[in-house]
Amino acid sequence: MKRVLIIYYTQSGQLKQIADSLAEPLIRDENIAVDYYRIKPVEDYPFPWTSDGFFDCMPESVEKVPVEINLDDFPAKNDYDLVILAYQAWYLSPAIPVSSFLKSDVARNFLAGRKVITLLGVRNMWVMAQEYVKGWIREHKAQLVGNIVLTDKAHNLVSVLTIKKWLMGGNKGPYNILPEAGVSEKDIKDASRFAGPVITALKNNDYEGLQDELIVLGAVGLKYHLMQMEKNALRIFRIWAKLIRKKGEAKNKKRRMRVRLFKYYLLFIIFVVSPAASAVFVVKRYLLYPLAKKQLRYYREV
């Protein structure tokens, strides 16, 4: 009997649906047992968000400031053959509950020596968040053997509008001329196709070529111009994060004005600056094709 633990955090429930789709073929296999563990912040994040609350969590997301999480019922003593870590990206970083878990002693002790697959359900920018997660996995002496990323496939500017409506209104849509927000129902359902290579690797205890097989199945869609925009944006986020946190910790009213200034700045960058930046990076990809190809290959791998 092979044992799999899916560790996840979700607010809207979408990431749990993605994990369920991937896990369904594993659960049907009588030789595989699948357990779930939802990361539980002591003070959980709301869904839907308020506008101020959503933007106020940016500094702590970017600076990886942990919150208190309840790990009393974490199955640390159980012997799992594979861990699937399902997470979201908040402000180009792992969601705060996930980064809090990965920075804990419980995670450090539990993950040591284990095989890990990361499973992401995101809008469209996830590369920098995954780099942080890779680092923690290495630090905990675990081995990342696979990565699966499901994204919102709408145009970047369209997905900003639909995600905002969803996160702050609670309605995934579709909305009149705008499509449904988040990962499509079809893509969620089709996530089960990744289970075949995972089951084979799990049963044979051989993960050597797993990521290559997952890539062939479309596990990691990656666009060069979004990747480059993400790198630049994270540098700017770090500056804003430090500036805001000088006025206090999360939810401190003294920093509310700076949080709102960041919100307006971000919307300006997204809708005014990013279209031109995107065009520049598209051209850059072809001018620096060998380097761009190397970078894309690196971020698709584990």
Residues 160 and 78 in one domain: yes
Residues 216 and 157 in one domain: yes
User: How large is the average pLDDT for residues 206-219?
Assistant: 97
Q: Does a cis peptide bond (omega within 30 degrees of 0) precede residue 290?
A: no
* CATH number of the domain bearing residue 53: 3.40.50.360
What is this structure's pTM? 0.93
Residues 168 and 38 in one domain: yes
Residue 208 has pLDDT above 80, yes or no: yes
State residue 281's pLDDT score.
84
Collapsing DSSP states into helix, strand and coil, what is residue 82?
strand
The torsion of the CA quartet 6, 9, 14, 16, rounded to 10 degrees, works out to 20
The CA distances from residue 56 to 9, 53, 162, in Å, are 19, 5, 20
Q: Please tell me the total count of domains within the chain.
A: 2
pLDDT in tens, 23-70: 999 999 999 999 999 999 999 998 999 999 999 999 999 999 999 999
H or E element: which one contains 211? helix 210-216
Q: Rounded distance, CA 113 to CA 70, Å?
A: 23
- Domain extent for 70: 2-221
pLDDT in tens, 174-195: 888 899 999 999 999 999 999 9
Please check whether residue 225 is in contact with residue 282, taking contact to mean a CB–CB distance below 8 angstroms: yes
Q: State both tokens at 294.
A: 């190397």
User: How large is the average pLDDT for residues 91-97?
Assistant: 97
Q: Rounded distance, CA 274 to CA 57, Å?
A: 22
Confidence of residue 276 (pLDDT cuts 50, 70, 90): confident
Angle between helices 224-245 and 127-139 (to 10 degrees): 70
In the chain, % of residues over pLDDT 70: 100
Residue 71 has pLDDT above 90, yes or no: yes
Residue 262 has pLDDT above 80, yes or no: yes
* The last residue of a domain, from among 221, 254, 280: 221
Bridge partners for 41 per DSSP? 69
* The last residue of a domain, from among 221, 238, 262: 221
User: How large is the average pLDDT for residues 218-244?
Assistant: 93
User: How large is the average pLDDT for residues 290-302?
Assistant: 91
Question: Which residue shows structure tokens 């290579």?
Answer: 197
Residues 101 and 202 in one domain: yes
Collapsing DSSP states into helix, strand and coil, what is residue 100?
helix
State residue 127's pLDDT score.
96
User: How large is the average pLDDT for residues 110-139?
Assistant: 96
Confidence of residue 156 (pLDDT cuts 50, 70, 90): confident
Residues 247 and 155 in one domain: no
Residues 200 and 235 in one domain: no
